[in-house]
Structure 1
Amino acid sequence: MPRILLAEDDDSLRGFLARALERAGYDVVACPDGDDAALRLDEAWDLLLTDIVMPGLDGIELARQAAARHPGLRIMFITGFAAVALAAGESAPAGAKVLSKPIHLREIVSEVERMIAA
């Protein structure tokens, strides 16, 4: 079962994402911020799904740390800020995907499926 590390500071969105991905057959560990997710980076993951703007460690730095520890790790960002999405595309690890909120849960699950299958 593919494993996803999810970092999202919005409690309700984190819960919705985790449940949708679990229903799609993924093992999801959901963290409330980048600091908490960074503590789990030594584990094996198939995908990092992270918000970009979070208190403490932001999603970009979390992704950089994850990519350094796990070359080839698939990384997907979600953000509600258009300017942040543009900047993330330039500063994110190679191959990372950036999705802008609002986004339907089915679309996120479809994108995750595509990334993991690639």
Structure 2
Amino acid sequence: MIRILLAEDDDVMREYLTRALERSGYAVTAVDRGTAALPLLEREAFDLLLTDIVMPEMDGIELAQKAAAMVPGLRVMFITGFAAVTLKAGGAMPQARVLSKPFHLRDLVMEVDRLFQVGEANGL
């Protein structure tokens, strides 16, 4: 089963995303900030880091960069409601996907599905 680590500081959004991904067959561990995600990355294996970019304590870009150093090959997808931040994310982690808010939960699941279909097709 594909394991997703979700870092999202908005309680309602975190709950909706978790529920939608779990209904689609993914195992989701959700945290409310980037600093809570790092210890989990040290202890557990995840296939995808799905993170909001704008969060307190540590933003999603910094989290993704630290996660990539800790877990080479970890897939990353950013979610954000800020267009300028989207450009920054693409420059900081060009291999990461960026999904801009607002989006439908169906779009999120399709992007995650696509991310893993591409990886499987490439033998990852």
* TM-score when normalising by structure 1: 0.96
More helix by share: 2
Residue 39 of structure 1 aligns to a residue whose secondary structure is helix
Give me the whole-angstrom Cα distance separating, in 2, the residues matched to 1:116 and 1:44.
16
Alignment of 1:65-76 (within 5 A): 65-76=66-77
Letter of the 2:18 counterpart: A
Q: Tell me the CA shift for residue 35 of structure 1.
A: 0.8
Q: Residue type of the partner of 1:10?
A: D
- Does 1:13 pair with 2:42? no
Matches within 5 A, 1:55-74: 55-74=56-75
Counterpart in 2 of 1:80?
81
Q: Which runs of 5+ in 1 are unaligned?
A: none
Partner secondary structure for residue 51 of structure 2: strand
CA contact (8 A) 1:46 1:116 kept: no
Percent identity of paired positions between Structure 1 and Structure 2: 63
Paired position in structure 2 for 1:39: 39
Counting matched residue pairs gives: 117
CA shift, 1:73, in A, is 0.8
Secondary structure in structure 1 of the residue aligned to 2:4: strand
Q: Where does residue 23 of structure 1 map in the other structure? A: 23
Cα separation, 2, equivalents of 1:88 and 1:26: 24
| Alignment partners' CA distance in 1, 2:116 and 2:70 | 18
The 2-side partners of 1:33 and 1:116 are apart by: 24
1:10-56 CA-to-partner distances (Å, cap 9, x unmatched) read: 10000000000000001100000111111211110010000000000
Partner Cα distance (2:108, 2:25) in 1: 14
Does 1:103 pair with 2:103? yes
Inter-partner Cα distance in structure 2 for 1:21 and 1:28: 7
CA distance in 2, matches of 1:52, 1:98: 10
Structure 2 segments unaligned to the other structure (5+ residues): 120-124
Hey, which bits of structure 1, 4+ residues long, moved more than 6 A?
Answer: none
